[in-house]
Structure 1
């Protein structure tokens, strides 16, 4: 079984391109910083950084709603990206292929975090999903029609 679950913040705005047959499939690449629970003795890193890729509907969701500082919960799989460079040396790397994405904090928490010098605030003209209301249903922002949200 190949399954990974990560919660962290985007380190930069996602890079979106279109590929596949007739250049119709969205492909989103982004980096996720995941805080470590415990710091190991002699280790200066407080977070690990993962290169992530989403395809299709997930990539369209990333393009529409995510930006640097957004805190998300991602589940997916680990994929090897090993290759041999021009000098004949083997280069080992991995990436996370996103299968499911959802917000890991409310819109208000994101805004508060932004006011404290980091995090996510929706740019002008871009709708942001609202927090779930008391009945447990998600409010979809005005102007968003027929969206297949991955956290339903």
Structure 2
């Protein structure tokens, strides 16, 4: 296989509300954290948990939507890629940070829990309701109906 792949999918809870900033060129940028928690039983049968924190960066129109609709504690699915950046901290030391560069996100959970969904207009679309399935083309001979999964 030639080439490479840098793909991340996370389902977790927001650790803080998105913070929206604008770059000098006018590009929107939102940053927030997402916590993912793994649960298992150790050899003694005791329940163990470990939480990992991920820094997420969203750009453009999606950054504006994230700032408007995502809230601390809400569950979200993040699709993107790992991106490293270098910076100098306040003491002058060079540091490296690992971010998830978000290409797409989906708000999960129930709307009754305070979740809200962006309108089609917010997403730059016509009347399609948020979360509606993508239209599937009628069978044109390109799909195999007998796929076992």
TM range (shorter): 0.5 to 0.7
Name the SS for the 1:94 alignment partner.
strand
What's 1:72 paired with? Answer: 76
Q: Which has the higher helix share?
A: 1
What's 2:105 paired with? Answer: 101
Name the SS for the 1:62 alignment partner.
helix
What's 1:30 paired with? Answer: 32
* Residue 82, structure 1, aligned to residue 86, structure 2: yes
Deviation at 1:17, TM superposition (A): 1.0
Deviation at 1:57, TM superposition (A): 1.5
Q: Which has the higher strand share?
A: 2
Between the aligned partners of 2:108 and 2:94, the Cα distance in structure 1 is 37
**What TM-score does the superposition give when structure 1 sets the normalisation length?**
0.65
What's 1:8 paired with? Answer: 12
Larger radius of gyration: 2
Unaligned runs of 5+ in 2: 125-129, 133-149
**What TM-score does the superposition give when structure 2 sets the normalisation length?**
0.66
Unaligned runs of 5+ in 1: 112-120, 123-127, 130-139
Between the aligned partners of 2:88 and 2:42, the Cα distance in structure 1 is 32
What's 2:63 paired with? Answer: 59
Describe the shift of the 1:9–1:86 C-alpha distance in structure 2 as closer, same or farther (beyond 3 A): closer
Name the SS for the 1:57 alignment partner.
helix
Between the aligned partners of 1:94 and 1:10, the Cα distance in structure 2 is 17
Deviation at 1:107, TM superposition (A): 1.2
Number of corresponding residues: 119
